[in-house]
Amino acid sequence: MTLKQWLAAQKMSDAEFARISGIGQRALIQKYRNGTLIPRADKLRLIRDATRGAVTADDFVDQRNGVSSNLPLLPPANVTTAPKARTKRPAPPPEPPAELPNPEADAPATRRRRKAA
């Protein structure tokens, strides 16, 4: 619901809303109501609290973008969402090589040295 709709439903003037919301300036309420100015975060909280959540920050953005806040926002029927890409896990690090055999240590002790001539 826009601020303009809420004020009309409550039959409340800009000046009265400025007073009860704590914003204090009727001119700001008029700009917010007409959509010429989007309130800062602190003012949005005051408006949300004063309207008991009926007017939210989204309503101001929708009003600026020309979106009717009375309609639910649905994705277009012909749009399909792509499946999420799977992320590959990194390959585990290679195992360290096994200890290489030492041919001299494993050789049988049957070898004889040649005698020097």
Do 58 and 68 contact (CB within 8 A), yes or no? Answer: no
CA 44 to chain centre: 20
pTM above threshold 0.95: no
CATH topology classification for 3-65: 434 Repressor (Amino-terminal Domain) (1.10.260)
User: pLDDT, tens digit, for every residue of 23-57?
Assistant: 988 999 999 898 888 889 999 999 999 999 999 88
User: pLDDT, tens digit, for every residue of 48-75?
Assistant: 999 999 998 888 877 777 665 454 545 5
Sign of CA dihedral 57, 61, 62, 66: positive
Do 28 and 22 contact (CB within 8 A), yes or no? Answer: no
Q: How many angstroms separate the CA atoms of 68 and 77, rounded?
A: 19
Domains of the chain, residue spans: 3-65
